[in-house]
Structure formats: structure tokens, C-alpha cells
Amino acid sequence: MPGLPAPASGLQEVYLDLHIHLGWAGEPGGGVKISAARDLTLENILIECRERKGIGMVGVIDASTAGALHDLERLLAAGKVEELPGGGLSFGGEVTLIPGAEVEVTHGPCGKAVHLTCYVRGARELRELGAWQQARVRNRQLSTQRHHGTSASEVVEFVGGLGGIVIPAHIFTPFKSTLGAAATVGEVIAPELWRYVPAVELGLSSDTELADELPELTRFTYVTNSDSHSLGKIGREYNLIRVAAPTFDELALALREEQGRRVAANYGLDPRLGKYHRTYCLDCDHRLEGEPPVLECPVSPGHKLVLGVLDRIRHYRPLQERAGVRAVPRERPPYVHQIPLAFVPGLGKRALERLLAAFGTEMGVLHRATEGELAEVVGPKLARLVAAARDGALAIEAGAGGVYGKVVAE
């Protein structure tokens, strides 16, 4: 990639998606309760990453549920996965599973929900996390475990004590995010615990440039993940990391930018494609235009709004600056606006299968095939669209209010 220096000697580049849900786990009748596809099992996720996506490290964030723990024990007993000395679990030496849990806590007098993705080194730590959660949740089959009487800082401290790390999930979204509940991360997670919080997840409606408008966030590495509820959406946002080996310990070094390890690139949607990019009026049932931040409906100030991510960032920036929060200068990796193959207009299932047969995985299509090589497989028109999608060059209508933006084929 232009502008991206080669990795240092002894390091390798690995594609990473850290936010995948399960749709089914455990014995019949023991599925994870979430609106996710039933074929989204632990083993199917690993197979999809290996055979179709080209994702080398994957974080499954329902892994501490009762059914998921059962499935992991079964895969370990069958020798299908094995624990790595550096943390993580290897699937045939081709994909590393980073086990974790998405935890929900509440913050503030209004009890706003906050989601935290928590990652641990292996099965033992995952069992300990599951046991700790058991006394704090009411339904061990739920995907995102809602913790009663537990603060975000308590979750971070416990996971850190296991040798794990915590990443605030989809940090800007109006619902169930750290900055949806407060104007700063420090209000939700005590700064003295940030050593266990090496990164924040940007979510589909923001990117590096927007996030860096908030001075507090310059202290954190950024990750871009899919938050996938189906096999097909794995890798719709992902990262390229530089590590000595695809293990948990190396991932932690990369997120902390230590010993030459780092996130080398973020690949994500143009923020306008996200479901919450701009403010939406629920009473008028439409997206609100205008210079951000749009904080009230022009029809009536009493109308109920879903505050957009762009508008939230522009609203919080002066609040943080007045509070004396100062930005920390740092060099960010490139953020590549890339439209997933599933979003490309006109690229149907058959054409995608032909591309995968020719180039192996979606990463092969997105990063290695030339436009000319694509044209040999699907014709020049689709090849141009795929090339424009991976360059972020297709026209877009912004999303809002829980509805994705649209890609427009010109």
C-alpha cells in the first residue's frame, strides 16, 4: 500500500477483526440469545476467516457464554484448536482465535448502557471471566452480558487482573457506547485503569480523522471491527497489524505500540455509510441536514432526536477543550475508506464466488488482484466497481437513525 512502510525484520502482517458475535453455541436448545444468524458458530467463524475472508486473527466476543465455553472445550478436546504459548488459540495454524466477552454496564444517574469488549489470553482466563460474570448477570446465554451492580471500571480492573485487555465498543454510537453515555472516556473508565484499555473501537459511523477531533482520544490506538452478526459481514471493517506472531501477547503489544508492533492500517466504511452518522429526528422520521452539530429539530425543539456521530463529536470537542483536555501528538496509521464487497452494487453471489475461486479470499480480491485481473473474471464493468469500492471512490448517501447509508453506482 502506498505510504505504508514495510514491516521491520522479523515482523509479519496479519489481518484482524476483533468483534464477531455468535448466533449459536452449545447443545441443542442452548443457543446464544442475539439477533445473529444460527450458522454463526465458533467453528464456522474460524472456517469462514480461513477459507473466504483471509482474516488471520479473529475476536469472538460471546466466548464466555455458557454455550460458547462448551463449544470451545469441545474444539480443544478434538484437537481442532490449540492454545498458543503467547496466548490465543490456533485453528490449524492459519487463524488465531482471541476469546472475549462483550459486557454491558450502566453509567450515570440515567443508567445509560455502555458496551465494553473484553479479551483474555486463553481458556483458563475465559473460564474465570465466565465464573466472575455468573454472579453478576441474570442470563448466561445472552450474547452481551448485562452486569448488574458493576461499573465499567470494575470490569476493566477484573479483566486487567486476568492479564486481559478491554476495548470500548463502537465508542460513538448513540446507544450502548462510552461516548454515548458521557462526554469523555474518563467519566466512565477511571484514567488510572487505562493501562488495560490500549484501544477504542471507532464503529461504522466514524474514522480516524473524525475521532482525532476529540483530544482525549488521541491517547488511544484505534481499531476498526465488523461487529458482525452474520458470516458474510465478517471483515466489513478490519485492521492490518504488525506482529512477530499472531498471538494474544503480540496483539497487546501492537495495540500499545510497543517493541515495533503496531496497527499498520485501518480499513473501514466511509463514515457516511454508518447507521448513525448524522442526527435523525424520530418525530419527523428523517435525517437532519446542516452544519454539525445539529442538536435540535428545526421543526420543533421538543422533537426527539438520535444524535449522529458526526454531530456528537463536534458537540463534545469544545466541551473537552474547555475542560482542559489536550491532544497527544502521535502518528496515526492510514485509515482506508473501503466499501466491503457485499456492499458493491451489482456484485451478486455468483460473481463473488467466481472472484473467491480466482483469488482465494476477500483479502485477495481487495488487496492483491489488479483491476485487469478482476476484469478477466467478472468483466470490466464489475471490475471497475470493485476497484472503486476498495478505493472508497463510490458515491454515498449518508446514513442516520439506525439506517445504513447507501452506495450509489454512478
- pLDDT for 2 equals 41
- pLDDT for 403 equals 80
Residue 166 bridge partners (DSSP): 118
pLDDT over 90 percentage in the chain: 71
Domain count across the chain: 2
Q: Angle, nearest 10°, between helix axes 371-378 and 380-390?
A: 140
pLDDT 10s digits, 129-164: 989 988 888 766 665 567 888 999 999 999 999 999
Residue span of the structural domain in which 359 resides: 340-391
Q: Are residues 238 and 107 in the same domain?
A: yes
Residue 281 pLDDT > 70, yes or no? yes
pLDDT over 70 percentage in the chain: 93
Contact criterion met (CB below 8 Å) for 93 and 81: no
Q: Are residues 250 and 374 in the same domain?
A: no
Q: Are residues 344 and 252 in the same domain?
A: no
Q: What is the C-alpha to C-alpha distance for residues 53 and 46, in angstroms, rounded to an integer? A: 10
- pLDDT for 305 equals 95
Whether this prediction's pTM lies above 0.75 is answered by yes
CATH number at residue 212: 3.20.20.140
Mean of all residue pLDDT scores within the chain: 90
Structural domain includes residue 335: no
| Grid cell at residue 12 | 509479519
Q: What is the C-alpha to C-alpha distance for residues 246 and 337, in angstroms, rounded to an integer? A: 25
When pLDDT is cut at 50, 70 and 90, the band that residue 291 belongs to is very high
When pLDDT is cut at 50, 70 and 90, the band that residue 167 belongs to is very high
Q: What is the C-alpha to C-alpha distance for residues 373 and 297, in angstroms, rounded to an integer? A: 49
Q: Are residues 59 and 184 in the same domain?
A: yes
Structural domain includes residue 203: yes
Q: Are residues 37 and 138 in the same domain?
A: yes
Residue 29 pLDDT > 80, yes or no? no
- pLDDT for 272 equals 87
pLDDT 10s digits, 206-260: 999 999 999 999 999 999 999 999 998 999 999 999 999 999 999 999 999 999 9
Q: Are residues 48 and 184 in the same domain?
A: yes
pLDDT 10s digits, 75-117: 999 999 999 999 999 999 999 999 999 999 999 888 899 999 9
Whole-angstrom CA distances from 128 to 43, 123, 154 are 22, 9, 15
pLDDT: which is higher, 273 or 3: 273
Structural domain includes residue 40: yes
Q: Are residues 74 and 223 in the same domain?
A: yes
Contact criterion met (CB below 8 Å) for 117 and 100: yes
- pLDDT for 393 equals 81
When pLDDT is cut at 50, 70 and 90, the band that residue 38 belongs to is confident
Q: Where are the alpha helices (DSSP H) in 307-379?
A: 309-322, 349-359, 362-367, 371-378
pLDDT 10s digits, 294-321: 999 999 999 999 999 999 999 999 999 9
The bridge status of strand 262-268 relative to strand 238-243 is: antiparallel
Whole-angstrom CA distances from 325 to 271, 320, 331 are 25, 5, 19
CATH number at residue 385: 1.10.150
Residue 379 pLDDT > 60, yes or no? yes
**Is residue 66 helix, strand or coil?**
helix
Q: Are residues 142 and 55 in the same domain?
A: yes
